Structure 1
Amino acid sequence: MFKAYFTDGGNPSDLVQLARIAESVGLDRQRAEAILASDEFTREVRQEEQLWLSRGVSSVPTVVFNGQYAVTGGQPVEAFVGAIRQIMSEAKGGTVS
């Protein structure tokens, strides 16, 4: 989807294009089309959306570690290294170098 949107200038709202992308990554195109045309997963998607909104996720990109730690926005590598070290430190109950 990123390639289709950012590189190829595609439309992420185009259901035909989404079905084509699904097929290109090995998913069944007819099943993808059926899902896109229905509300089959609407409840689950909305629940996930509310979960992450309640956890403070409101921007893209947001990278979530261990389901509870988040780095938001376009950050330098050092921000991710720092976050990972902090998570490891908390998991071990001490400090990590």
Structure 2
Amino acid sequence: MLVEIWSDIACPWCYIGKARFEKGLAEFPHRDRVRVVHRSFELDPNRAKGDTGSVVDMLARKYGRTREEALAMEEHVASNARAEGLGYRTEGRDHGSTFDIHRLLHLARARGRQDELLNLAYRTNFADERSVFDDEVLIALAVEAGLDEAEARAVLAGDAYADEVRADEREAAELGANGVPFFVFDRRYGVSGGQPAELFTQALEQAWKGRETVPATADDAPACDADGACEVPEAAR
């Protein structure tokens, strides 16, 4: 069975949702027969390479909050991440264009190392003190994931896999994905948002039974939308 996951490295609910999905997958009896493919979705596709800024400052501007309130919003998301055993820094993180990261993830997929690179990119962006928007950091992550350094450098220096990234994004739009994470199970069942692990197990079981296609469900789960806004529960605003 094929599971496709549209996500962006800048999306905290994608980071959390991946961990929850993997916990749900671990409870699925046929997990050894599931193939997972990660697909590209940029929250800010028009952002220029090199245009980076503080995540906290961005949140304050986006939601019209003070910096202290934006930090509280980040802390609420961090508590969800930590509950899944994930590291999460609330200060000192930046954000920028994720296009090159997606291109490298396509290279990693072609070399059978996609999940390894994605995990490293998430950890670096949300938990480490390095910036994932630095080319040398990306190269180091690619090598750590098992990719050839020269090949990774060649991808970043040119436009390799650009078409693949855009094709993923077009397909997401065709499927009606207005935000991420967005999970599609064997093209039969769709789930949006960072749902609890139990729901992912149920989705896997339903798709395995071969039921007819149903609409994407669970719209109340936290997610990041196509305009780059990441949902924060009211209590944290």
Question: Of the candidates 57, 77, 87, which is equivalent to residue 207 of structure 2?
Answer: 87
1:1-97, aligned counterparts within 5 Å?
Answer: 1-89=121-209, 91=210
Q: When the two structures are aligned, how many residues end up with a matched partner? A: 92
Structure number with higher helix proportion: 1
Normalising by the residue count of structure 2, what TM-score does the alignment of the two structures yield? Answer: 0.35
Q: CA deviation at 1:92?
A: 6.2
Unaligned runs of 5+ in 2: 1-120, 213-237
Max Rg structure: 1
Q: Using a 3 Å threshold, how does the CA distance of structure 1 residues 92 and 71 change in structure 2: closer, same or farther?
A: closer
Unaligned runs of 5+ in 1: none
Deviates more, 1:12-21 or 1:54-63: 54-63
Normalising by the residue count of structure 1, what TM-score does the alignment of the two structures yield? Answer: 0.77
Letter in 1 for 2:156: L
**Separation of aligned partners in 2, 1:68 and 1:9:** 40
Q: What percent identity do the matched residue pairs reach?
A: 35
**Separation of aligned partners in 1, 2:156 and 2:188:** 30
**Separation of aligned partners in 2, 1:10 and 1:72:** 29
Aligned residues of 1:61 and 1:73 also touching (Cα < 8 A): yes
Q: Using a 3 Å threshold, how does the CA distance of structure 1 residues 11 and 70 change in structure 2: closer, same or farther?
A: farther
Aligned residues of 1:16 and 1:33 also touching (Cα < 8 A): no
Q: CA deviation at 1:62?
A: 2.1
The runs of 4+ residues in structure 1 deviating greater than 6 Å are none
Q: CA RMSD in A?
A: 2.1
Aligned residues of 2:182 and 2:191 also touching (Cα < 8 A): yes
Superposed CA offset, 1:12-36 (max 9, x none): 3222111110000110111101101
